[in-house]
Amino acid sequence: MKIKIAAFMWRKCNKATLDSLLGFSSGQYHITLHSHDYKEFFKGLKPDKDTELGGFEITVPIEPFDGPDPIPKCNITVRYMGRDSRRKDWNIRSQRPETAYKLWRQGRGFLDRASVGENDYIVIARDINNNFHARWIRTDDFGALPELMKEAISAAIAGWRDINDKY
């Protein structure tokens, strides 16, 4: 059964993201989402832990994937660096080869660095029941996305969009 999406966020898969997922980055263990305000996207989820710079972490429960090679329900951690941080970034923590969300790992989301195309994206969607789903959108599949998603994703490298918003 398909469930309608209420909002979605995305991050274009760039070199830094791939380096984290492949374990090549010696310092970055996360996927940076930049400084958009994602509080509304994660509404209903309570911050777990405060950061030293006035930020917080949120545990995001990701619904199971029941497609080929199913993945059980799991959690990802999203961190807001804080109001006192220089960049005020948000990021998805612990995204290394052995700890990344399984649909974002090499062999699932992408085969290797060379297989990642211009329109490969990491996506987290919130459905109308406030459940979260995570996927990897490949360049080959980008054209099949709903027009609203394609337009929003094409307009920005990272961001989020409430489906009910007007452009």
Question: Across the 167 residues of the chain, what is the mean pLDDT of every consecutive 10-residue run?
Answer: 87 91 88 84 92 94 94 96 90 94 95 93 95 96 90 82 64
pLDDT at position 167 is 34
pLDDT at position 142 is 92
Which residues lie across from 77 on neighbouring strands?
59
pLDDT at position 158 is 74
pLDDT at position 25 is 86
pLDDT at position 94 is 92
Alpha-carbon dihedral sign for residues 91, 109, 16, 122: negative
* Sole residue written with tokens 């274009």: 12
pLDDT at position 36 is 79
CA angle, 84 as apex, 30 and 61 as ends, to 5°?
40
